[in-house]
Structure 1
Amino acid sequence: MSEARYQTHLTISWDRLHRDVRTLCHRLLEAHEEPFKGIVAITRGGLIPAALVARELNIRLIDTVCIKSYDHMDQGGLDVLKGVDHDGQGWLLIDDLVDTGNTARAVRDMLPNALFTTVYAKPEGKALVDLSVVDVEQATWIQFPWDMALSYIEPLAAQRGSSESS
Structure 2
Amino acid sequence: MSQTAEPELHYLEYYEDFLAKVRVLSRKVRDSGWMPEFVIGVGRGGLVPAVYISHQLELPMLSIDHSSKVPGFADELLAKVAGMTAEGKRMLFVDDINDSGGTISYIRDHLADSGFNTDNLRFAVVINNRSSRVEVDLWADMIDRAEDKRWFVFPWESVGTKDSIVEEALSVPERLS
| CA displacement at 1:39 relative to structure 2 | 1.1
Describe the superposition over 1:95-141 as per-residue Cα deviations: whole angstroms up to 9, x where unpaired: 01111111110112234621100011123327421111112342221
**Unmatched 5+ residue regions in structure 1?**
70-76, 151-166
Residue pair 1:68, 1:79 contacting (<8 A) in 2 also: no
TM-score (norm 2): 0.68
- CA positional deviation for 1:37: 1.5
Task: Tell whether the 8 Å contact from 2:104 to 2:134 is kept in structure 1 after alignment.
Answer: no
Equivalent residue, structure 2, for 1:30: 31
Q: Where does 1:1-166 land on structure 2 (aligned, <5 Å)?
A: 2-3=3-4, 7-15=7-15, 16-32=17-33, 35-59=35-59, 61-68=60-67, 81-82=73-74, 83-84=77-78, 85-87=80-82, 88=85, 89-111=89-111, 113=118, 114-125=121-132, 127-138=134-145, 139-149=149-159
Instruction: Structure 2: state its 5+ residue gaps.
Output: 161-177
Check conservation: 2:105, 2:134, Cα contact below 8 A.
no
Distance in 2 (CA, whole Å) between partners of 1:55 and 1:137 is: 30
The structure that is strand-richer by fraction is 1
Instruction: Give the secondary-structure state (helix, strand or coil) at the position aligned to 2:67.
Output: strand
Q: Verify the 8 A CA contact 1:104 1:125 in the aligned structure 2.
A: no
Whichever of the two has the greater Rg, that structure is 1
Question: What is the alpha-carbon distance in structure 1 between the residues aligned to residue 44 and residue 70 of structure 2?
Answer: 13
Q: Secondary structure at the match of 2:10?
A: strand
- Give % identity: 21
- Output the CA distance in 2 between the equivalents of 1:98 and 1:78: 21
Report the alpha carbon displacement of residue 19 of structure 1 after superposing the two structures with TM: 0.4
